[in-house]
Amino acid sequence: MSEPFPDKAGERIAKRLARAGLCSRREAERWIAEGRVAVDGRVLDSAAVVVTPDQRVTVDGRTLPVPAAAKLWRYHKPKGLLVTERDPHGRPTVFQNLPPQLGRLVSVGRLDFNSEGLLLLSNDGALARHLELPATGWTRRYRVRVHGVVDVAALARLSQGATIDGLRYGPIDARLDSVKGSNAWLTMALQEGKNREVRKLCQHLGLTVTRLIRVAYGPFQLGELPEGSVAEIAQRVLAAQLGQAGRALVAGPARRDAHRRRPA
């Protein structure tokens, strides 16, 4: 069955599988190609299918779990972990170091291999994408140790944004906190979160980043969370911090414990 179900509101089958916490959308497409997924008893041979909430979806003959309410966790990422599900070079990843009982999680944005600090994690991809959007308006705040001579005036000009190698960066609130010899600590706050943005901006100023710690993402703080630890954000707190669109994402039904097992 290659065509979508006609004239019905719903969502793509790969998204439905991902929201149930079984796999990523890419993995869902692979499962479908392998003939492991059926809708109302009909085995799918294409991911180009839209399903409605009242249709029965099975994976390997087992009924799809009820999607859990969207949740969010704070994680203190150590230096030396990749924010990816798997690495072809065998380097350690964040998700290999999380408690297995949390199930499948996705990150809200990323921190690079040598960066540390606050990483938000969610069991719901739609919530994660919502929190990543610049339109959400959440500020990312970093503590940055740099080597070199800090030009305070140049640092202040970052409030007007900067263009580096043809790429435009939005306004950055940057300030000098302390200086010790040839090293200094900065605090930098930004909203866009482009790839390696803080490191590139510092390099543009003639500074070498020797330590990079994210201490806040929007209203959520790293605080005293120990390195490598994870802590769930209370649903009432999460809902209070989200706009109307975000609150709708955390209002889903709880997943039944009997359906938590992922198909083999």
151 is catalytic: no
Two tokens, residue 37: 């997924």
3-state percent breakdown (helix, strand, coil) of the chain, nearest 5: 25, 30, 45
Kindly state the DSSP code that residue 25 receives in the 8-state scheme: H
SS3 44: coil
Strands (E), the chain: 11-12, 37-39, 42-43, 50-51, 57-59, 62-63, 72-77, 106-108, 116-122, 140-147, 162-164, 167-169, 173-180, 183-190, 208-217, 220-221, 230-232
- The active-site residue out of 7, 40, 60, 112 is 112
Residues classed as catalytic = 112
